[in-house]
């Protein structure tokens, strides 16, 4: 255990693909332990006196609040930095920003558009960098999702997860997360909106080591058939608002509704990273129904990220 913990110290979290199955499982188990400590009222100020710089080029509810509250509960401090408040807005490079923040803070979380910006920041900063979301990946969300599945199902390996909708950042990180933990994943997206081929190929490579199966289809019924976990996301992500009407027409057959989830396992659970648009990507009867665990999932952003923060930023 100590060797895994030591190996995580000082690391960046840019993509779940960069972590071994054992490291991901360690993070999830550590998150569960921290969650229990919080429930028991046990102090766990593992980052006392440390500061997390949080760069937001995309707005957020769950990301900002969970990281800020998480740092507070760990005994540290979180500094909110809107992109318009930084010299990034006046043309300072990502590299210089990373070098400067490395002199002030103990870790950086960035929520932005380009994955390349996060990678450049990590390359130049002398402190751990955490990907809070990019257009390509959303690793922190998927750690929370995996923690939620583990809590409700008691395991990850061998389960089937179905993702229905846009082949976006959530979908990409689910492909990595499932492949690394031995969960079978079946993705259903319309033509033109499938997950990136290189992401799928990498996930299949990772899955070969864990026994997971990776399936990509255009048929939602095929994807959901027998699924233990059903997941969807909004049809138009941040920055795609101008495409909303066109996307609604394309994605209409991909709504997660009662007719579709009837094809899942009888004890399936439903996940959505939120915010959700009832009546669009998901029917109210599903997201507000007895199989939905979306608010457990939202809470687990806090616990999963506390594990990431305390493991990566530990001195």
Other beta carbons within 10 angstroms of residue 32's beta carbon come to 17
pLDDT at 302: 98
Please state the residue numbers annotated as binding site for L-ornithine: 169, 233, 237-238
156 and 108, same structural domain? no
157 and 283, same structural domain? yes
- Model confidence, pTM: 0.97
Catalytic residue positions, numbered: 111, 138, 141, 233, 273, 301
CA-based nearest residue to 301, from 120, 172, 126, 111: 111
169 and 112, same structural domain? no
What CATH number does the domain containing 74 carry?
A: 3.40.50.1370
170 and 292, same structural domain? yes
Cα pseudo-dihedral 50, 55, 61, 62, rounded to 10:
-50
Question: Distance from CA of residue 134 to its chain's centroid?
Answer: 10
pLDDT at 301: 98
Query: Alpha helix locations (H) across 105-162?
Result: 115-124, 139-153
Q: Supply the range of the domain harboring residue 150.
A: 141-297
216 and 183, same structural domain? yes
Looking only at the bridges linking them, the beta strands covering 51-56 and 107-111 are parallel
**How does DSSP assign 27-46, residue by residue?**
HHHHHHHHHHHHHHT----T
d(CA 184, CA 223): 11
75 and 61, same structural domain? yes
Report the domain count for the chain: 2
Segments of the chain with pLDDT less than 70: 1, 89-90, 238-240
The SS3 call for residue 108 is: strand
Residue 151, token pair as written in the block: 């809590």
11 and 152, same structural domain? no
242 and 179, same structural domain? yes
pLDDT at 237: 76
pLDDT in tens, 157-195: 999 999 999 999 999 999 999 999 999 999 999 999 999
pLDDT at 91: 80
253 and 130, same structural domain? no
146 and 283, same structural domain? yes
Please state the residue numbers annotated as binding site: 60-63, 87, 111, 138-141, 169, 233, 237-238, 273-274, 301
5 and 102, same structural domain? yes
291 and 206, same structural domain? yes
Please state the residue numbers annotated as binding site for carbamoyl phosphate: 60-63, 87, 111, 138-141, 273-274, 301
pLDDT at 256: 98
């Amino acid at each position: 255990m100590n060797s895994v913990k030591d190996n995580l110290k000082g690391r960046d979290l840019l993509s779940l693909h960069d972590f071994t199955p054992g490291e991901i499982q360690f993070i999830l188990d550590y998150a569960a332990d921290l969650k229990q400590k919080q429930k028991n009222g046990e102090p766990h100020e593992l980052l006392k006196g440390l500061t997390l710089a949080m760069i937001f080029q995309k707005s957020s509810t769950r990301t900002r609040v969970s990281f800020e509250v998480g740092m507070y509960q760990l005994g540290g401090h979180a500094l909110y930095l809107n992109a318009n408040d930084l010299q990034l807005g006046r043309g300072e490079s990502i590299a210089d920003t990373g070098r400067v923040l490395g002199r002030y803070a103990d870790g950086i979380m960035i929520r932005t558009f380009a994955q390349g910006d996060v990678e450049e920041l990590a390359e130049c900063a002398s402190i751990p960098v955490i990907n809070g979301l990019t257009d390509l990946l959303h690793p922190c969300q998927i750690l929370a999702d995996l923690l939620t599945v583990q809590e409700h199902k008691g395991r990850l390996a061998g389960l089937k997860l179905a993702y229905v909708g846009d082949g976006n950042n959530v979908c990409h990180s689910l492909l990595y997360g499932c492949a690394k933990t031995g969960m079978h994943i079946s993705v259903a997206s319309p033509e033109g909106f499938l997950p990136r081929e290189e992401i799928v190929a990498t996930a299949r490579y990772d899955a070969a080591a864990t026994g997971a199966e990776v399936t990509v289809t255009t048929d939602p019924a095929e994807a959901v058939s027998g699924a233990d976990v059903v997941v969807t996301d909004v049809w138009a992500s941040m920055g795609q608002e101008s495409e909303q009407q066109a996307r609604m027409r394309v994605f209409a057959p991909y709504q997660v509704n009662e007719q579709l989830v009837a094809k899942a396992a009888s004890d399936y659970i439903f996940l959505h990273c939120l915010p959700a648009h009832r009546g669009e990507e998901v029917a109210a009867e599903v997201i507000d129904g007895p199989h939905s665990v979306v608010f457990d999932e939202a809470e687990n952003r806090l616990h999963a990220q506390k594990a990431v923060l305390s493991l990566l930023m530990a001195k």
